Amino acid sequence: DTVLTQSPALAVSPGERVSISCRASEGVNSYMHWYQQKPGQQPKLLIYKASNLASGVPARFSGSGSGTDFTLTIDPVEADDTATYFCQQSWNDPTFGAGTKLELK
């Protein structure tokens, strides 16, 4: 399995820029995707294929990276962005990161 490693938690102030990282145990080309999950809700697609914004997602969200290192950036962060963010690779059978919980100060 391709293991995806994410930092467990981050805390930022509204209006700041935050970068959430995801590292793959092997190269996944650009086949990395990002989801947002709020408590009690299903995951929501934010970014697909590393850098493509999903439909309806605010332009405050962006993605970058290729190979093994990927980043989801939110700029500027808003209060509504409090959530857990997951990366998922699809170069091999799909696997997900453990998630990064974003809290606002």
Partner 1 sequence: QVTLKESGPGILQPSQTLSLTCSFSGFSLSTYGMCVGWIRQSSGKGLEWLANIWWNDDKYYNPSLKNRLTISKDTSNNQAFLKITNMDTADTATYYCARRALGANYFDYWGQGVMVTVSS
* Sites of contact with partner 1 (CB under 8 A): 1, 31, 33, 41-45, 48-49, 54, 86, 88, 90, 93-99
* Least distance between partner 1 and beta carbon 45 (Å): 5
Name which of 25, 29, 33, 8 is nearest 89 in CA terms.
33
Cβ distance 30 to 51 under 8 Å?
A: yes
* Least distance between partner 1 and beta carbon 43 (Å): 6
If the CB atoms of residues 13 and 52 are measured against partner 1, the closer one turns out to be: 52
Cβ distance 22 to 70 under 8 Å?
A: yes
